[in-house]
């Protein structure tokens, strides 16, 4: 419910602060008094674009602020979705700065115009005579049918399942594309993987292998040098061991006559032991070293395989080649796993289809149950609204596709006059007729679902007094379920209101401003009498006005 409207520095309004109540609120005023200014200001807090020519003083900030009572609306999920603080009394504010920039706030939190508009659509519905195109919109027509059929929970279940279905379709398409691409790469990657596996090089120590190759390829040279080393060490006359032994004997005698030679003697002993160990090692290597052409061939072959694989995969170590092997394994295994994934997604899609078909069937049945009653109620309402010959034909036809709200194709057809033919609403009715149809539809909807505050802007244009009286009764009935505003020039409608406001212009020196005031019972009588008889209010006009109010 719109509880308060505050406007500052907008069009002809200097500053306006007005409170509203639940029920049926009437707004009247002379042509040009500024009723459209109120709607223009209100549209800004509903997310519409700013027309900067409407700012009264461009050097000052313009503010339009609305307070809405949300206790009857289930809007907590909306506030949670946009990370906004929920308040039962929510304030929406729009500011237009002298710089030309505009800002929007919900409970003092800055928001984008898109968020403002999304919330505004759930809070207030401004309906003018020329804004009836939604009647021909599929979504709006289904809203009417589904409100009567009470399919809210069923429809939400359908939409959730449809979202899953579409998501699984995307997954299936993606997997199929991957499979198609993987098949192209599968043979090549399998060949590379097999080549590395058959080479059996992943667990080899490259350094050890290279050392082994060097040794095997130089056996003769190594044996020759080891033999020469043995001769240097063990030659009977000039060998290092012979001379070191003689040196040891000499220092053995010297240590008895010179204590300084004792340390040198011990070092000679140590050197002799180390030299004997070296000799033993040389002898051992010479004994175990032998030519092995077969092992040399195998070692050389392994090194060649490794170097070939290094070059092919642009790596330099066995570790890097191992990584390449693991990546190739993943790619090859991926194709195999894709088959299982495809089967799983296909099974999910089959479940989605089964569930969607079941829900769609139930939706269709529920909708078909209310079509006749809806047609009859529309016929009765439109007859009261001056369209006694209007006949509705609402058709619900099945289709094979899963649509946004089921598998039904809905047609709202109207035959406005006798002898005419059934046509879509936007072709079969005039602008005034569409306005009356919209009023009838909104009235029916108001009894079956929580609608936002609705504001009718001169929906009664071109309507006779008798029909306007019925329109007023319908809007009055609607106000039992929701807050209803109507801007009107007709006294019959103005008299039916629970609350009555007047828009008027007021001159202050050289400046004209627009004001909005709530009328008391006496002021209201005067306003309706003036609407009946003009500026010169007669006693007859007053009596007529009183009759209307009674």
Among 146-160, 182-196, 489-503, which stretch is predicted with the lowest mean pLDDT? 182-196
Whether 65 is covered by a domain: the verdict is yes
Last residue of a domain, one of 281, 315, 336: 336
Among 72-86, 159-173, 200-214, which stretch is predicted with the lowest mean pLDDT? 200-214
Whether 57 is covered by a domain: the verdict is yes
Alpha carbons within 13 A on the beta-carbon side of 34: 23
- Which tens digits make up the pLDDT trace of 253-295? 887 777 778 888 888 888 888 888 888 887 777 766 676 667 6
More confident residue, 265 or 65: 65
**The total number of structural domains that make up the chain:** 2
- Report pLDDT for 74: 83
For residues 122 and 4, membership in a common domain is answered with yes
Last residue of a domain, one of 336, 364, 386: 336
Q: Which long-range contacts (CB under 8 A, 24 or more apart) does 296-304 make?
A: 296/213, 296/216, 296/217, 299/209, 299/212, 299/213, 299/216, 300/213, 300/217, 302/201, 302/204, 302/209, 303/209, 303/210, 303/213
For residue 458, report the phi and psi dihedrals to the nearest 5 degrees. 50, 45
- Report pLDDT for 133: 58
How confident is residue 149, by pLDDT bands cut at 50, 70 and 90? very high
- Report pLDDT for 94: 93
More confident residue, 431 or 514: 514
Supply 105's token pair.
Answer: 């706030």
Residue 48 scores a pLDDT above 70: yes
Residue 130 scores a pLDDT above 70: no
What is d(CA 440, CA 421) in angstroms, rounded to the nearest whole number? 21
- DSSP bridge pairs for 501: 27, 518
For residues 79 and 187, membership in a common domain is answered with no
- Report pLDDT for 168: 94
Whether 382 is covered by a domain: the verdict is no
Whether 83 is covered by a domain: the verdict is yes
For residues 281 and 203, membership in a common domain is answered with yes
CATH number of the domain to which 467 belongs: 3.40.50.300
Last residue of a domain, one of 270, 304, 336: 336
For residues 116 and 236, membership in a common domain is answered with no
Cα separation values, 216 from 63, 210, 289, 290, 398, Å: 94, 10, 9, 8, 85
More confident residue, 59 or 329: 59
Q: Measured on CA atoms in the order 237, 243, 244, 250, is the torsion positive or negative?
A: positive
Whether 79 is covered by a domain: the verdict is yes
- Report pLDDT for 292: 67
Domain that residue 188 falls in? 179-336
- Which tens digits make up the pLDDT trace of 286-324? 766 676 667 667 777 788 888 888 888 888 888 888 888
For residues 183 and 312, membership in a common domain is answered with yes
Whether 395 is covered by a domain: the verdict is no
Q: What Rg, from alpha-carbon coordinates, does the chain have? A: 48
For residues 183 and 122, membership in a common domain is answered with no
- Which tens digits make up the pLDDT trace of 184-201? 677 777 788 888 877 777
pTM: predicted TM-score of the whole model, two decimal places: 0.67
- Report pLDDT for 483: 93
How large is the average pLDDT for residues 474-486? 92
Among 90-104, 179-193, 365-379, 411-425, which stretch is predicted with the lowest mean pLDDT? 179-193
Name, of 287-291, 371-375, 510-514, the range with top average pLDDT. 371-375
């Amino acid at each position: 419910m719109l509880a308060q409207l505050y406007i500052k520095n907008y069009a002809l309004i200097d500053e306006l602060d007005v409170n509203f109540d639940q029920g049926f609120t009437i707004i009247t005023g002379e042509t040009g008094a500024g009723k459209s200014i109120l709607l223009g200001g209100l549209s800004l807090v509903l997310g519409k674009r700013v027309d900067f020519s409407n700012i009264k003083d461009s050097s000052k900030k313009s503010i339009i602020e609305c307070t809405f009572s949300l206790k009857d609306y289930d809007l907590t999920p909306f506030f949670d979705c946009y990370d906004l603080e929920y308040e039962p009394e929510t304030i929406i504010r729009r500011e237009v700065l002298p710089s030309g920039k505009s800002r929007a706030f919900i409970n003092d939190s800055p928001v984008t115009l898109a968020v403002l508009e999304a919330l505004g659509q759930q809070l207030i519905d401004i309906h003018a005579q020329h804004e009836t195109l939604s009647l021909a919109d599929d979504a709006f027509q289904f809203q009417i049918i589904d409100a009567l059929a009470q399919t809210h929970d069923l429809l939400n279940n359908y939409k959730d399942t449809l979202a899953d279905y579409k998501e699984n379709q995307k997954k299936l398409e993606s997997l199929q594309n991957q499979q198609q691409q993987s098949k192209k790469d599968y043979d090549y990657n399998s060949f590379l993987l097999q080549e590395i596996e058959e080479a059996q090089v992943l667990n080899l120590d490259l350094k050890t292998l290279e050392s082994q190759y060097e040794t095997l390829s130089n056996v003769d040279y190594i044996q020759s040098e080891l033999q020469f080393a043995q001769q240097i060490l063990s030659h009977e006359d000039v060998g290092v061991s012979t001379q070191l032994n003689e040196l040891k004997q000499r220092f053995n005698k010297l240590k008895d006559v010179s204590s300084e030679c004792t340390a040198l003697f011990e070092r000679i002993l140590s050197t002799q032991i180390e030299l004997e160990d070296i000799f033993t090692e040389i002898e051992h290597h010479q004994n175990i070293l032998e030519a092995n052409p077969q092992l040399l061939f195998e070692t050389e072959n392994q090194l060649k395989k490794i170097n070939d694989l290094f070059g092919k995969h642009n790596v330099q170590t066995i570790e890097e080649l191992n990584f390449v092997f693991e990546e190739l394994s993943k790619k090859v295994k991926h194709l195999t796993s894709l088959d299982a994934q495809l089967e799983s997604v296909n099974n999910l899609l089959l479940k989605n289809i089964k569930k969607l078909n079941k829900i769609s069937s139930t939706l269709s049945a529920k909708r078909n149950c209310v079509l006749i009653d809806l047609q009859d109620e529309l016929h009765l309402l439109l007859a009261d609204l001056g369209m006694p010959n209007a006949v509705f034909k609402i058709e619900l036809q099945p289709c094979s596709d899963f649509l946004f709200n089921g598998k039904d194709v809905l047609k709202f057809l109207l035959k406005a006059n006798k002898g005419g033919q059934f046509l879509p609403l936007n072709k079969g009715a005039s602008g005034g007729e569409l306005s009356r149809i919209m009023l009838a539809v909104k009235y029916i909807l108001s009894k079956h679902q929580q609608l936002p505050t609705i504001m009718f802007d001169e929906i009664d244009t071109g309507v006779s007094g008798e029909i306007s009286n019925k329109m007023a009764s319908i809007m009055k009935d609607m106000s039992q379920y929701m807050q209803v505003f109507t801007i009107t020039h007709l006294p019959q409608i103005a008299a039916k209101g629970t609350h009555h406001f007047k828009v008027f212009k007021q001159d202050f020196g050289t400046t004209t401003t627009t004001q909005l005031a709530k009328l008391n019972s006496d002021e209201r009588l005067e306003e309706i009498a003036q609407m009946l008889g003009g500026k010169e209010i007669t006693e007859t006009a007053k009596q007529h006005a009183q009759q209307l109010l009674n």
